[in-house]
Amino acid sequence: MTSSVLSYEKGYAIHVNQPEDSLFYYLDYDERSHDLNMEFQHFHDFYEICILLDRTAAHIIEGSLYEIQPDDIVLLRPALLHKTQYPKGVPPKRLMINFAMPRSVPGLENGYSELFTIFHAPVPIFRFSEERRKEILAPINDIFALSQQMSPIQSVAIHHKFVEFLCGLHRYSAENTYVREETGSVMSRRMYAVASYIHSHYQQELSLDEVSRRFYVSAHHLSRQFNKVTGFTFTEYVQMTRIRNAQQLLLHISEKITDIAAQCGFSSFSQFNRIFNKQNGMSPSAYRRSRPVQDERQMGFTRERVVQGNLRST
């Protein structure tokens, strides 16, 4: 049954600006079939929020598996590797929100930085009582209504309501009742634990033999099962995790590229340059030049948070 909390219209979308703009919103109201499940984990340069409206699904975030229920609020900050697994049968209804916003508003920088700490929660999924859920999600329903009323200040009003929504999440974050439950087979849970371990230790030397000993499974069996569960070989996953973190550092700190390569676990710059080119179709220096420089405060990161936040296993 469709959630009674959020307004919904299949195929409806709300746009404010474009993804390449420093401020944009894209709210997508639709269904998602099991047949359209993404094969691999991916990540974005923007923020993403997923709210399931009916049935259940699962999110894989940084190698960890989370079961979600209707009206759970999933927060994904930029660069988090993730994918959603939808169940077989009737496609679940969901609201996906992609957005970015500048936060260097004079006098409000500290407030915005604090507001966006909700995206760095150890478990980035929020579940509330029915009464609290209605209060927190009310601004999203206001946005739905505002989008259908032509006004010269429509985009400003939508922005205002969305900030109100984030403020509500932050205000009541201590009331989050989400508890992660162990699901899936013993082997799949172990492989997700391996993936989570990679996200927590990508800066260190990682080998299949060392990790297989740590998880008490043969290297051959780990290699085969890890590929089956994640869609990547062990080496591909390690390299992808390191490159993903390097991309964020290239965009948000000014350190030398060689230092960034070392921080992300690469044994040599030539190895880093080769793998980066393979995954991105350009060199690290070209990647840094091709993207607008993001002020660390606008992204909600200090230099320490860029590194430590990505090290946290979720």
Rounded mean pLDDT, 15-43: 80
Mean of all residue pLDDT scores within the chain? 85
Helix (H) / strand (E) element for 31: namely: strand 24-31
User: Which segment of 62-71, 116-125, 132-141 scores lowest on mean pLDDT?
Assistant: 62-71
Q: What percentage of the chain carries pLDDT values higher than 90? A: 57
Tell me what percent of the residues of the chain surpass a pLDDT of 70. Answer: 87
Which tokens belong to 174? 């201590």
Grouping H, G, I as helix, E, B as strand and the rest as coil, residue 126 is: strand
CA 118, CA 126: separation in Å to the nearest integer? 10
Q: Which residue has the higher pLDDT, 32 or 30?
A: 30
pLDDT score, position 313: 28
Q: Tell me: the pLDDT tens digits for 273-291?
A: 999 999 989 999 999 988 6
Secondary structure (3-state) at 95? strand
More confident residue, 262 or 80: 262
Calculate helix-pair angle for 219-230, 186-201, nearest 10 degrees.
90
The class level of CATH for 187-311 reads mainly alpha
CATH topology of domain 12-175: Jelly Rolls (2.60.120)
The ranges of the chain annotated as CATH 2.60.120.280 are 12-175
Flag whether pLDDT at 38 surpasses 70.
no
Q: List where CATH 1.10.10.60 sits in the chain.
A: 187-311
What's the whole-model pTM score? 0.71
